[in-house]
Amino acid sequence: MNVLIKLLGTGISIGAGFVGTKLVNAVWEKSTGNKAPTGKHEDTPTSLRSALTFALISASVSTIIQVLANRGTQRAITRFAKTQDIV
């Protein structure tokens, strides 16, 4: 059952990462008026400063999502282990 919980945690982490990326891109576009500097839009010139700022924000959000997903998975494994001991 631990493997199932770890797989579920991985799936949640991937899904949350996808949603987080979309959210960061949307907030960036809304606040700056430009598309996010992801390298996919070669026709849009990007300054080094805006690219670095976007990278820092994106990495921070990704790290927070990863930490929260790992903590949630560990909490679920601990809770499952406790309920197995009771039964």
| Cα→Cα distances 3→48, 65, 82, Å | 43, 21, 16
Note the pLDDT tens digit of each residue in 19-67: 889 999 999 999 999 888 887 766 667 888 998 999 999 999 989 988 8
The two tokens of residue 58 are 């994106």
Name the residue type at position 45: P
* E strands, 2-64, in order: none
Q: What is the pLDDT of residue 64?
A: 92
Is the pLDDT score of 71 beyond 80?
yes
The alpha carbon of residue 67 and the mean position of all alpha carbons in its chain are separated, in whole angstroms, by: 9
Q: What is the pLDDT of residue 87?
A: 52
More confidently predicted of 22 and 80: 22
Q: What is the pLDDT of residue 84?
A: 66
Domain ranges of the chain: 2-86
